[in-house]
């Protein structure tokens, strides 16, 4: 399929990831209306990926994440020449998802922007974890997420179940990582909401690009060298 069509699918998919996952955090949690809590937000993020994996996985591969795309390049499963168009589409989708969410949330009379589901470390961490702890958490959780993706989509894995494993994997790492960084493992997911919050959310954004990309590329490299079947790369 043409690259622009696959990139457009990535745009829609990343829109759904940010609107659905961050939307659950912004619209359904808070001191006065905490109806789902961190467990519910974790499940919402997992469900966005699971549903999109079935909806567009056969079109674009359903990366929805620059770290996933970079990891797939490192593993030899995605063309490096297509990385930039995919990342641009993911960023546009994330910004659009955050924009629609902001418009809806702003319709509530007492709406306060607050953190707007952004990611952060130190004083911006939900439980005030240090920068070092947050960096390691993002690297390790992205690494494990990519291993799940690469293993579940391997030709030797049971067919048809990859979206379930990936969606549940994302749910699990959110359960671990939300208290630490509000969980990113996805530079696009972090960038979209940060554009509307500004300030600390933007100045700390570097960590949520560098750490996930390190984790993603490391996982792709390890999988290719250690777990990829001979001749499949």
Give the span between the Cα atoms of 168 and 147, in whole angstroms: 13
Return the pLDDT at 29.
Answer: 82
Return the pLDDT at 159.
Answer: 87
- Is the pTM above the cut of 0.85? yes
Owning domain of residue 186: 3-227
Mapping DSSP onto H, E and C, the string for the chain reads CCHHHHHHHHHHHHHHHHHHHHHHHHHCCCCCCCCCHHHHHHHHHHHHHHHHHHHHHHHHCCCCCHHHHHHHHHHCCCCHHHHHHHHHHHHHHHHHHHHHHHHHHCCCCCCCCCCCCCCCCHHHCCCCCCHHHHHHHHHHHHHHHHHHHHHHCCCCCCCCCHHHHHHHHHHHHHHHHHHHHCCCCCHHHHHHHHHHHCCHHHHCCCHHHHHHHHHHHHHHHHHHHHHCCCCCC
Asked if residue 11 is part of any domain, the answer here is yes
pLDDT tens for the chain, 233 residues long, are 899 999 999 999 999 999 999 999 999 986 556 688 999 999 999 999 999 999 999 999 999 999 999 999 999 999 999 999 999 999 999 999 999 999 999 999 988 899 999 999 999 999 999 999 999 999 999 999 999 999 999 999 998 999 999 999 999 999 999 999 999 999 999 999 999 999 999 999 999 999 999 999 999 999 999 998 765 54
Asked if residue 211 is part of any domain, the answer here is yes
How many domains does the chain contain in total? 1
Asked if residue 9 is part of any domain, the answer here is yes
Asked if residue 66 is part of any domain, the answer here is yes
Return the pLDDT at 231.
Answer: 52
Asked if residue 96 is part of any domain, the answer here is yes
Asked if residue 188 is part of any domain, the answer here is yes
Asked if residue 233 is part of any domain, the answer here is no
The CATH number of whichever domain residue 142 belongs to comes to 1.20.1080.10
Asked if residue 232 is part of any domain, the answer here is no
């Amino acid at each position: 399929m043409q690259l622009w069509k696959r990139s457009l699918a990535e745009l829609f998919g990343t829109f759904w990831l940010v609107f659905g996952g961050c939307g659950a955090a912004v619209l359904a949690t808070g001191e006065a209306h905490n109806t789902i809590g961190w467990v519910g937000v974790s499940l919402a993020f997992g469900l966005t990926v699971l549903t999109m994996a079935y909806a567009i996985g056969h079109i674009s591969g359903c990366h929805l994440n620059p770290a996933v795309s970079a990891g797939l390049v490192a593993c030899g499963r995605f063309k490096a020449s297509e990385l930039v168009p995919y990342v641009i589409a993911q960023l546009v989708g994330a910004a659009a998802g955050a924009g629609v969410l902001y418009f809806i949330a702003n319709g509530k009379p007492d709406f306060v922007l607050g953190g707007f589901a952004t990611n952060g470390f130190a004083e911006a961490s939900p439980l005030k974890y240090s920068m070092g702890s947050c960096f390691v958490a993002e690297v390790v959780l992205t690494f494990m997420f990519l291993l799940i993706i690469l293993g579940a989509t391997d030709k030797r894995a049971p067919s048809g179940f990859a979206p379930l494993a990936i969606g549940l994997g994302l749910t699990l790492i959110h359960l671990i990582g939300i208290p630490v960084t509000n969980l990113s493992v996805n530079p696009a997911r972090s960038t979209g909401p940060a554009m509307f919050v500004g300030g600390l959310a933007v100045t700390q954004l570097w960590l949520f690009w560098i750490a996930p990309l390190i984790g993603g590329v490391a996982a792709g490299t390890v999988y290719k060298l250690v777990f990829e079947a001979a001749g499949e790369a």
